[in-house]
């Protein structure tokens, strides 16, 4: 049941990413979701048995699914790293290609040292008493723990700089990573107990395996799907505010261009009049210009001044693009002072 649920979560995450992240150049998270979804699908008993039978019935599909999951986790970590600034050297090493290659090679070597027998849907329960099988499992989960720890560090840093709804995705990633590291501890304890023949300890610890497995993937999926959703919600909120401010500035702007026509009245004006923030920026600039131009008589009251300043503050987070679209540069000029 767990592979089915996790597989469904990953395919759903992939669909969300394809819809919400279309057009974005960075695809690491999308690749990760696809690879992990395939890995989880291969672990569904009916699919696993059918495919393993086609490749000789020696549990080779276990190796394929586990290697796919490891590569998918690598892409998850890379996606988080590429979205972060100033990654610590330790994080870069943990999420680097050499660490992945080392884990894959060691896992493959350990796998082919296992006496695997015929197809089994309970690979570690049936074969975990072998040292090679325990090593195989621990190699994978140790690598997961390394990557998840690095992801948690990067996501925790985002918690310090994000605000509002943007806090939810990194918080989910931190929780998912913490649950994943805890899952690693459970699995390694089970592996060691199985090899040592302490089946009572293995059974006692295994109670936490299922819940931690589900919680790990649930929160990681929420975190990765939540990033484009949060950006979309924030963009829509910003667009609504832009439209509201533009509408509120309309009377003041009309008075300003009546005494001092601006570039927006020219047919050959080189700015994008169909972009809401460009239009708002243009209006603010032309109101400012009318205010500081000593050749014209134009005054604003305190309410109007506060409105213009609120529009300026709203435009600031948009970055240099909004300012670059206007001929006069950034509108932030002290009231009542000459521009030149």
- Does residue 233 carry a pLDDT above 80? no
Coil, strand or helix at 55: coil
pLDDT band at 266 (very low <50, low <70, confident <90, very high): low
Q: What contacts 92, CB < 8 A, 6 or more positions away?
A: 81
Query: Hey, how many other C-beta atoms are within 10 angstroms of the C-beta on 115?
Result: 8
Percent of the chain at pLDDT above 70? Answer: 87
- For residue 333, the model assigns a pLDDT of 40
Q: Which of 313, 266, 306 is nearest to 286 (CA)?
A: 266
DSSP annotation of 85 reads S
- Does residue 102 carry a pLDDT above 90? yes
Of 133 and 315, the one with more pLDDT: 133
What are the phi and psi torsion angles at 299 (to 5°)? -130, 155
Residue with tokens 């990681």: 220
pLDDT digits (tens, 9 = 90+) for 122-169: 999 999 999 999 999 999 999 999 999 999 999 988 888 777 777 888
Cα→Cα distances 126→54, 61, 156, 211, 296, Å: 21, 16, 39, 22, 89
- Does residue 339 carry a pLDDT above 60? no
- For residue 227, the model assigns a pLDDT of 75
Residue with tokens 């059974």: 203
Q: Which of 115, 80, 111, 108 is nearest to 95 (CA)?
A: 80
Q: How far is it, in rounded angstroms, from Cα 36 to Cα 40?
A: 6
What are the phi and psi torsion angles at 268 (to 5°)? -95, 20
Q: Burial level of 47, CB count in 10 A (0-12/13-18/19+)?
A: middle
Q: How far is it, in rounded angstroms, from Cα 101 to Cα 62?
A: 18
Q: How far is it, in rounded angstroms, from Cα 6 to Cα 40?
A: 7
Average model confidence (pLDDT) across the chain: 84
Write down all domains in the chain, each with its CATH number in brackets: 2-231 (1.20.1070), 260-324 (no CATH)
pLDDT digits (tens, 9 = 90+) for 173-227: 999 999 999 999 999 999 999 999 999 999 999 999 999 999 999 999 998 888 7
- For residue 327, the model assigns a pLDDT of 37
The pTM of this model reads: 0.74
- For residue 27, the model assigns a pLDDT of 81
- For residue 325, the model assigns a pLDDT of 39
What are the phi and psi torsion angles at 130 (to 5°)? -80, 140
Query: Hey, how many other C-beta atoms are within 10 angstroms of the C-beta on 117?
Result: 12
Q: How far is it, in rounded angstroms, from Cα 140 to Cα 28?
A: 20
Mean pLDDT of 41-60: 93
Coil, strand or helix at 127: helix
CA neighbours within 13 Å on the CB side: how many for 204?
6
Region for residue 114 given its phi and psi (left: phi exceeds 0; alpha: psi -120 to 50; beta: otherwise): beta
Q: Which of 186, 153, 18 is nearest to 80 (CA)?
A: 153
Least confident of 128-132, 275-279, 282-286: 275-279
Mean pLDDT of 283-302: 84
Mean pLDDT of 244-262: 86
- For residue 319, the model assigns a pLDDT of 41
- Does residue 273 carry a pLDDT above 80? no
Separation of first and last alpha carbons in the chain:
71
Mean pLDDT of 280-305: 85
- For residue 265, the model assigns a pLDDT of 59
Residue with tokens 């819809």: 19
Query: Hey, how many other C-beta atoms are within 10 angstroms of the C-beta on 175?
Result: 19
């Amino acid at each position: 049941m767990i592979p089915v649920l996790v597989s469904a979560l990953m395919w759903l995450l992939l669909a969300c990413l394809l819809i919400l992240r279309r057009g974005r150049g960075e695809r690491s998270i999308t690749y990760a979701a696809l690879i992990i979804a395939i890995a989880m699908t291969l672990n569904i008993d009916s699919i696993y048995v059918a495919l393993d039978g086609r490749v000789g019935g020696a549990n080779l599909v276990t190796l394929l699914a586990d290697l796919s999951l490891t590569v998918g986790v690598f892409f998850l970590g890379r996606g988080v790293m590429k979205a972060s600034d100033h990654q610590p050297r330790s994080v870069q090493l943990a999420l680097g290609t050499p660490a992945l290659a080392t884990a894959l090679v060691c896992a493959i070597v350990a796998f082919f040292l296992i006496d695997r027998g015929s197809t089994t849907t309970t690979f570690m329960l049936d074969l975990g008493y072998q040292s090679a099988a325990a090593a195989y499992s621990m190699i994978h989960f140790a690598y997961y723990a390394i990557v998840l720890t690095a992801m948690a560090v990067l996501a925790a840093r985002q918690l310090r700089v994000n605000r509002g709804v943007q806090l939810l995705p990194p918080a989910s990633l931190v929780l998912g990573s913490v649950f994943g590291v805890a899952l690693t501890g459970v699995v390694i304890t089970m592996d060691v107990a199985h090899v040592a023949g302490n089946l009572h300890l293995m059974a006692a610890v295994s109670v936490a395996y299922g819940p931690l497995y589900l919680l790990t993937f649930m929160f990681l999926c929420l975190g990765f799907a939540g990033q484009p959703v949060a950006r979309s919600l924030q963009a829509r909120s910003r667009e609504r505010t832009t439209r509201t401010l533009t509408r509120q500035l309309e009377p003041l702007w009309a008075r300003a261009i009546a005494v001092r026509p601006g570039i927006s009245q020219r047919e050959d004006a080189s700015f994008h009049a169909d972009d809401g923030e460009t239009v708002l920026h243009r209006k603010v600039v032309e109101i400012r210009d009318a205010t500081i131009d000593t050749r014209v008589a134009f005054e604003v009251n305190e309410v109007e001044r506060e409105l213009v300043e609120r529009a300026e503050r709203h435009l600031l987070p948009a970055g240099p693009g909004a300012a670059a679209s206007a001929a006069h540069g950034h509108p932030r000029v002290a009231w009542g002072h000459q521009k030149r």
